[in-house]
Amino acid sequence: MKSLQVSTTINGDAAEFLCAPDETLLDVLRNRLGLTGAKEGCGTGDCGACSVMLNGRLVCSCLVLGAEAEGAEIATIEGLAEGDVLHPLQQAFIDHAALQCGVCTPGILVAAKALLDRDPDPSDEALRYWLAGNLCRCTGYDKIIAAVQAAAAEMRGARDVA
Amino acid sequence: MRYARPATAAEAVTLLGQQAGIVRVLGGGTDLLVQMRSGMIEPDLVVDIKHIPGINEIRAEAGGFRVGAAVSGAALGDHAGVCALWPGVAEGFQLIGSTQVQGRATMAGNLCNASPAGDAVPALVAAEAVARIEGPEGARDCPVAAIPAGPGRTTLKKGEFISSILLPARPERASDAYLRFIPRTEMDIAVASCAVSLVLDSAGTITVARVALGAVAPTVVLVEAGASALVGSKAGVPALAALAAAASAACAPIDDKRGTIEFRTEVAGVLARRAAETAYARAGGRK
Amino acid sequence: MSLDEYSRREFKQVGTRPRRPDGVDKVTGRAMYGADASAPGMLVGRILRSPHAHARIKAIDTAAAEALAGVKAVITAADFGLPDDDFTRDVQDNCMARGKALYDGHAVAAVAAVDAATAKAALKLIRVDYETLPHVTDVDAAMAPGAPVVQEGRALENVPAGMSANVTSHCEFGHGDPAAGFARADRVIERHFTTAATHQGYIEPHACLASVSADGKADLWCCTQGHFFVRTLCSAILGMEASQLRVTASEIGGGFGGKTTVFIEPVALALSRKAGRPVKIVMSRDEVFRATGPTVSTSIEVKIGMTKDGRITAGEAHLRYSGGAFPCATVEMGGQAAFAAYDLDHVRTYGWNALTNRPKEAAYRAPGAPQAIYAVENVIDELCLDLGLDPLEVRLKNAATKGTKSSYGPTFPAIGLVATLEAAKAHPHYTAPLAEGQGRGLSCGFWFNFGGNSCVSLNVNTDGTVGVTEGNPDIGGSRASISLMAAEELGIPYERIRTIVADTASLGYNDVTDGSRVTFAVGLATIKAARAAIRLMCERAAKIWGIEADAVEWKDGAAVPAGPNAPADVARRDRRGLVRDRRPDRRPPRGQCRRRRRQLWRPSGRCRGRPRDRGDQDPALHDLSGCRQGGASRLCRGPDAGRRGAGHRLGAERGIYLWRRRAVAERGLSRLPHPGRLGPAEDRHGDPGNPQSRPSLRGARRR
Ligand SMILES: Cc1cc2nc3c(=O)[nH]c(=O)nc-3n(C[C@H](O)[C@H](O)[C@H](O)COP(=O)(O)OP(=O)(O)OC[C@H]3O[C@@H](n4cnc5c(N)ncnc54)[C@H](O)[C@@H]3O)c2cc1C
Ligand code: FES
Ligand code: FES
CB C322 within 8 A of CB C356: yes
Q: What are phi and psi of C310, to 5 degrees?
A: 95, 15
User: Which tens digit of pLDDT belongs to each residue from B136-146?
Assistant: 999 999 999 99
Q: Which of A22, A45, A68 sits opposite B100 (nearest CB)?
A: A45
Please report the pLDDT score of residue A91 as a whole number. 98
Q: What is the pLDDT of residue B205?
A: 97
Which residue of chain A has the CA closest to B96? A133
Question: DSSP class of residue B96?
Answer: S
Task: Tell me what the pLDDT averaged over chain B comes to.
Answer: 97
Q: How far apart are CA B154 and CA B156, in angstroms?
A: 5
Which range (C64-78, C367-381, C685-699) has the least confidence?
C685-699
Nearest CA in chain A to C42: A31
pLDDT in tens, C269-319: 999 999 999 999 999 999 999 999 999 999 999 999 999 999 999 999 999
pLDDT of residue B287: 67
Q: Which atom of ligand 3 is nearest to the CA of C253?
A: 2
> Closest to C476 (Cβ–Cβ): which among A31, A39, A138?
A138
pLDDT at residue C656 tops 90 = no
A47 to C203: CB separation less than 8 angstroms, yes or no? yes
Cα separation of the two ends of chain B: 58
Question: Which residue spans of chain A are classified as CATH 1.10.150.120?
Answer: 88-161
User: Rounded distance, CA B192 to CA A130, Å?
Assistant: 23
Q: Convert the pLDDT of each residue in C567-619 to its tens digit.
A: 665 554 443 334 344 444 444 444 444 333 333 322 222 333 333 333 333 33
Question: Which CATH code of 3.30.300.30, 3.30.465.10, 3.40.50.300, 3.30.450.20 fits the domain covering B2-46+57-167?
Answer: 3.30.465.10
As a CATH number, domain A4-78 is 3.10.20.30
Name, in order, each residue with C-beta under 8 angstroms of C597's C-beta and a sequence gap of 6 or more: C607, C610, C611, C616
Of A60, A68, A70, the CB nearest to B100: A60
Residues of chain B with CATH 3.30.465.10: 2-46+57-167
pLDDT at position C677 is 29
In the prediction, which pLDDT does C575 show?
39
Describe the strand order of the beta sheet including A73-75 as a list of residue ranges. A13-19, A4-10, A73-75, A51-54, A57-60
A48 contact B CB<8A:
yes
Q: Is B167 helix (H, G, I), strand (E, B) or coil?
A: strand
Predicted local confidence at residue C637, as pLDDT: 26
Residues in chain C within 8 Å Cβ distance of A105 = 26-27
Q: Is the CB of A136 under 6 A from ligand 3?
A: yes
Q: How confident is the model at residue A101 (pLDDT cuts 50, 70, 90)?
A: very high
| pLDDT of A46 higher than 90 | yes
Of A1, A39, A90, the CB nearest to C204: A39
Name the percent of chain C lying above pLDDT 70.
80
A132 in B contact zone (CB under 8 Å): yes
Ligand 1 proximal residues by C-beta, below 6 Å: A 44-46; B 24-32, 34, 49, 69, 95-97, 101, 104-106, 108-110, 112-113, 117-120, 156, 161-162, 187, 189
CATH code for the part of the protein at A88-161: 1.10.150.120
The DSSP code for C187 is E
Q: Which residue of B has its CA nearest to A127?
A: B99
**Ligand 3 close to Cβ of residue C477 (< 6 A):** no
Interface of A with B in 71-110 (CB under 8 A): none
Enumerate residues 6+ apart whose C-beta is below 8 A from B16: B23, B25, B45, B47, B158, B159, B160, B161
- State the DSSP code for B67: E
pLDDT of residue C562: 84
**A153 C-alpha to center of ligand 3: Å?**
24
**Three-class secondary structure of residue B71 per DSSP:** coil
User: Whose CA is closest to C216, among C186, C240, C248, C246?
Assistant: C240
Question: In this model, does residue B158 exceed pLDDT 60?
Answer: yes
For C60, how many CA atoms within 13 A lie in the half-sphere containing its CB? 28
* Digit-coded pLDDT (tens) for A114-140: 999 999 999 999 999 999 999 999 988
Rounded Cα distance, C532 and C539, in Å: 11
Full set of structural domains in chain C with CATH: 34-133+206-282 (3.90.1170.50), 139-199+294-428 (3.30.365.10), 450-540 (3.30.365.10), 574-675 (no CATH)
pLDDT digits (tens, 9 = 90+) for C257-267: 999 999 999 99
Closest Cα in chain A, distance from residue B5 (Å): 9
Residue of B nearest to A22 (CA): B1
Q: Is the pLDDT of residue B16 over 80?
A: yes
Question: Partners of C61 in the beta sheet?
Answer: C127
Answer whether C256 sits within 8 Å of A137, measured CB to CB.
yes
Q: pLDDT per residue over B245-278, tens digit each?
A: 999 999 999 999 999 999 999 999 999 999 999 9
pTM for this model (two decimals): 0.89
User: A62 CA distance to ligand 3 centroid (A)?
Assistant: 18
d(CA C626, CA C399): 56
A64 lines ligand 2 (CB under 6 A): no
Give CA–CA dist A98/C28, Å, rounded: 14
Q: What are phi and psi of B198, to 5 degrees?
A: -130, 150
**Ligand closest to CA A135:** 3
Query: Rounded mean pLDDT of A81-101?
Result: 96
Residue A55: phi and psi, rounded to 5, are 50, 45
Give all strands of the β-sheet with C466-470 in edge-to-edge order: C456-460, C466-470, C497-501
Query: Which backbone phi and psi does B130 adopt, to 5 degrees?
Result: -125, 130
Q: In the predicted model, is pLDDT for residue C666 greater than 50?
A: no
Chosen for mutation from A26, A89, A99, A103 (greatest number of chain C CBs closer than 10 Å) is A103
Among candidate residues B255, B279, B42, the one with its CA nearest the CA of residue A20: B42
DSSP count for chain C of H helices, then E strands: 23, 20
**Residue range(s) of every CATH 3.30.390.50 domain in chain B:** 174-282
B133 φ, ψ to 5°? -110, 125
Sort out which chain B residues have CB atoms less than 8 A from A68's CB and list them. Answer: 26, 29, 48, 50
Of the candidates A2, A114, A133, the beta carbon closest to that of B101 is on: A133
Q: In this structure, which residue's CA is closest to atom 3 in ligand 2?
A: A45
The pLDDT of residue C379 is above 70: yes
pLDDT at C222: 98
Note the ligand closest to the C-alpha atom of B185.
1
The architecture that CATH gives domain B174-282 is 2-Layer Sandwich (3.30)
Is-contact A90 C19, C-beta < 8 A?
A: no
CA distances from C49 to A16, C94, C124 (A): 36, 11, 11
Please, are residues B10 and B52 in contact by the beta-carbon 8 Å criterion? Answer: no
Region of poorest pLDDT, from A115-124, B143-152, C446-455 = C446-455
Q: Whose CA is nearest to atom 9 of ligand 1?
A: B96
> C118: closest CA among B43, B2, A20?
A20
Nearest atom (ligand 2) to Cα of A47? 4
Chains contacting A (3+ CB pairs below 8 angstroms): B, C
**3-class secondary structure per residue, C606-674:** CCCCCCCHHHHHCHHHHHHCCCCCCCCCCCCCCCCHHHHCCCCCCCHHHHHHHHHHHHHHHHCCCCCCC
Tell me, using a 6 A CB cutoff, whether residue A48 lines ligand 2. Answer: yes
Residue C509 to residues A145, A154, C452, C454, C670: CA-CA distances in angstroms?
39, 46, 10, 7, 55
Which listed ligand is nearest to B56 at the C-alpha? Answer: 1
Angstrom CA distances, C280 to A74, B263, C39, C277, C692, stand at: 27, 47, 9, 10, 56
Residues of A in contact with B97 (CB under 8 A): 45, 133
Beta bridge partners of C111: C46, C74
Averaged pLDDT of chain C: 84
Question: What is the helix, strand, coil percentage profile of chain B, to 5?
Answer: 35, 25, 40
Question: What is the C-alpha separation between A71 and A57, in angstroms, rounded?
Answer: 15
Q: Say what the pLDDT of residue C515 is.
A: 86
C189 pLDDT above the threshold of 80: yes
Helices (H), C388-416: 391-398
Residue C645, pLDDT above cutoff 60: no
Which member of A48, A67, A70 has the closest CB to residue B100?
A: A48
**From the candidates B32, B49, B100, B184, which should be mutated to test the interface with A, based on the most A CB atoms within 10 A?**
B100
CB atoms within 10 A of CB C249: 27
Residue ranges of chain C whose CB lies within 8 Å of a chain A CB: 17, 19-20, 22-24, 26-33, 35-36, 38, 115-117, 201-205, 251-254, 256, 282, 284-285, 475-477
Cβ of B7 under 8 Å from any chain A Cβ? no
Distance CA C537, CA C306 (A): 62
Cα–Cα distance between A62 and A50 in angstroms, integer? 6
Interchain proximity C252–A101, CB inside 8 Å = yes
Check B187 against A129: CB less than 8 A apart.
no
Higher-pLDDT residue of B185 and A75 is: A75
